[in-house]
Structure 1
Amino acid sequence: MIYCKQSTDLICTLKNQCKSVKHIYQVHAQIITRGLLSLHPSSASRLLTAIIHTFNSLLPPAPHRPPHPISYHYLHSVFNLISSPSTFCWNTIIRSHTLLSLPENALFFFIQMRRRCVSPDAHTFPFVLKACAQSNELSVARTIQCQSLKHGFMRDVFVCNNLVRVYCNCGRIGDAYKVFDESVERDVVSYNVILDGFVKGREIERARQVFDEMPVSVRDATTWGTMLAGYAQTKHYDQCLSLYDQMLVLSVPHDNVSIVSVLSACGRMGELEKGKQVHDHIRRSGIQIDSFLCTALVDFYAKCGSIETAQGIFEASADKNLFTWNAMLVGLAMHGYGELLLNYFSKMVKNRVKPDGVTFLGVLVGCSHAGLINEARRLFGEMGSVYGVPKELKHYGCMADLLARAGLIKEAMEMIESMPMSGDVFVWGSLLGGCRLHGNVEVAEKVAARIMEISPEDGGVYSTMADIYANAKRWDDLTKIRRLRDSRKVKKNAGCSLIQLDGVTHEFIAGDDLHPQSDEIYLVLNAIGQHQYQMQL
Structure 2
Amino acid sequence: MLTRNQSILYLTINNLVKQCKTINQLHQLHAHTITTELLFLTPHVLTKILYTITNLASISTSPTSSLSSSSSTSLLSYALSVFTSIPNPSTFCYNAIIRLHIILSSPFPALRFFSHMRRISLPPDFHTFPFAFKACAQTRALSVAEMLHCQAFKFGFTSDLFVSNSLLRAYSISGNVKQAYTVFDESSHRDVVTYNSLIDSFVKAGEIIRARELFDCMPSRDAVSWGTLIAGYSQVNQCNEAIELFNQMIVSDFRPDNISLVAALSACARLGELEQGKAIHNYIKTNRIRVDSFLSTGLVDFYAKCGFIEIAMEIFESSLEKNVFTWNAMLTGLAMHGHGQVTLDYFSRMIDSGVKPDGISFLGVLVGCSHAGLVNEARKIFNEMETIHGIPRELKHYGCMADLLGRAGLIGEAMEMIKKMPMGGDVFVWSGVLGGCRIHGNVEIAEKAAEHVMELKPEDGGVYSVMASVYANVGRWEDVVKIRKSMDCKRVKRNAGWSSIKLNGIAHEFVAGDDLHPQTQEIYLVLNGITEHQLQA
Tell me which of 407, 413, 416 is aligned to 2:415.
413
The DSSP-based 3-state class of the residue aligned with 2:333 is helix
What letter matches 2:47 in structure 1?
S
Q: Which residue of 2 aligns with 1:306?
A: 308
Q: Which residue of 2 aligns with 1:131?
A: 135
Which has the larger displacement, 312-321 or 477-486? 312-321
Which has the larger displacement, 287-296 or 444-453? 287-296
Q: Which residue of 2 aligns with 1:456?
A: 458
1:527 CA drift (Å):
9.5
Q: Which residue of 2 aligns with 1:225?
A: 227
User: Superposition pairs for residues 39-438 of structure 1, below 5 Å?
Assistant: 39-59=41-61, 68-215=72-219, 218-438=220-440
1:382 CA drift (Å):
2.6
The DSSP-based 3-state class of the residue aligned with 2:399 is helix
User: Superposition pairs for residues 11-50 of structure 1, below 5 Å?
Assistant: 11-20=14-23, 22-50=24-52
In the aligned structure 2, how far is the partner of 1:346 from the partner of 1:133?
A: 38
1:414 CA drift (Å):
1.9
The DSSP-based 3-state class of the residue aligned with 1:160 is helix
Give the alignment's Cα RMSD to 1 decimal.
2.6
What letter matches 2:198 in structure 1?
I
The DSSP-based 3-state class of the residue aligned with 2:501 is strand
Q: Which residue of 2 aligns with 1:482?
A: 484
The DSSP-based 3-state class of the residue aligned with 1:428 is helix
1:266/1:274 contact within 8 Å kept: yes
After superposition, the Cα gap between the structure-2 partners of 1:460 and 1:105, relative to the gap in structure 1 and judged at 3 Å, is same
1:334 CA drift (Å):
1.2
1:286 CA drift (Å):
1.5
After superposition, the Cα gap between the structure-2 partners of 1:191 and 1:312, relative to the gap in structure 1 and judged at 3 Å, is same
In the aligned structure 2, how far is the partner of 1:25 from the partner of 1:480?
A: 83
Tell me which of 8, 12, 32 is aligned to 1:9.
12
1:13 CA drift (Å):
1.8
The CA deviation string for residues 77-118 of structure 1, in whole angstroms up to 9 with x for no partner, is 433444444433333333233223332333233233333333
Q: Which residue of 1 aligns with 2:533?
A: none
1:97/1:103 contact within 8 Å kept: yes
In the aligned structure 1, how far is the partner of 2:215 from the partner of 2:529?
A: 45
After superposition, the Cα gap between the structure-2 partners of 1:201 and 1:526, relative to the gap in structure 1 and judged at 3 Å, is farther
1:420 CA drift (Å):
2.1
Which has the larger displacement, 198-207 or 176-185? 198-207
User: Superposition pairs for residues 493-504 of structure 1, below 5 Å?
Assistant: 493-504=495-506
What letter matches 2:158 in structure 1?
M
1:15/1:51 contact within 8 Å kept: no
The DSSP-based 3-state class of the residue aligned with 1:328 is helix
1:162 CA drift (Å):
0.7
After superposition, the Cα gap between the structure-2 partners of 1:7 and 1:56, relative to the gap in structure 1 and judged at 3 Å, is farther
2:57/2:103 contact within 8 Å kept: no
After superposition, the Cα gap between the structure-2 partners of 1:115 and 1:406, relative to the gap in structure 1 and judged at 3 Å, is closer
1:190 CA drift (Å):
0.9
The DSSP-based 3-state class of the residue aligned with 1:516 is coil
Q: Which residue of 2 aligns with 1:506?
A: 508
What letter matches 1:108 in structure 2?
R
What letter matches 2:439 in structure 1?
L
In the aligned structure 2, how far is the partner of 1:62 from the partner of 1:157?
A: 28
In the aligned structure 2, how far is the partner of 1:500 from the partner of 1:45?
A: 64
2:406/2:435 contact within 8 Å kept: yes
The DSSP-based 3-state class of the residue aligned with 2:508 is strand
Q: Which runs of 5+ in 2 are unaligned?
A: 531-537
After superposition, the Cα gap between the structure-2 partners of 1:496 and 1:88, relative to the gap in structure 1 and judged at 3 Å, is same
In the aligned structure 1, how far is the partner of 2:355 from the partner of 2:136?
A: 35
The CA deviation string for residues 350-392 of structure 1, in whole angstroms up to 9 with x for no partner, is 3333322222212221121122222222322233333333322
In the aligned structure 2, how far is the partner of 1:315 from the partner of 1:505?
A: 33
1:521 CA drift (Å):
6.7
What letter matches 1:448 in structure 2?
A
After superposition, the Cα gap between the structure-2 partners of 1:522 and 1:91, relative to the gap in structure 1 and judged at 3 Å, is farther
What letter matches 2:231 in structure 1?
A
The DSSP-based 3-state class of the residue aligned with 2:19 is helix
After superposition, the Cα gap between the structure-2 partners of 1:184 and 1:521, relative to the gap in structure 1 and judged at 3 Å, is farther
After superposition, the Cα gap between the structure-2 partners of 1:74 and 1:451, relative to the gap in structure 1 and judged at 3 Å, is same
In the aligned structure 1, how far is the partner of 2:520 from the partner of 2:183?
A: 51
Which has the larger displacement, 342-351 or 52-61? 52-61
Instruction: Report how many residues are paired.
Output: 525
Which has the larger displacement, 197-206 or 96-105? 96-105
Q: Which runs of 5+ in 1 are unaligned?
A: 529-537
| TM-score under structure 1 length normalisation | 0.90
1:58 CA drift (Å):
4.5
1:10 CA drift (Å):
2.1
1:367/1:375 contact within 8 Å kept: yes
| TM-score under structure 2 length normalisation | 0.90
1:264 CA drift (Å):
0.9
In the aligned structure 1, how far is the partner of 2:19 from the partner of 2:275?
A: 52
2:510/2:517 contact within 8 Å kept: no
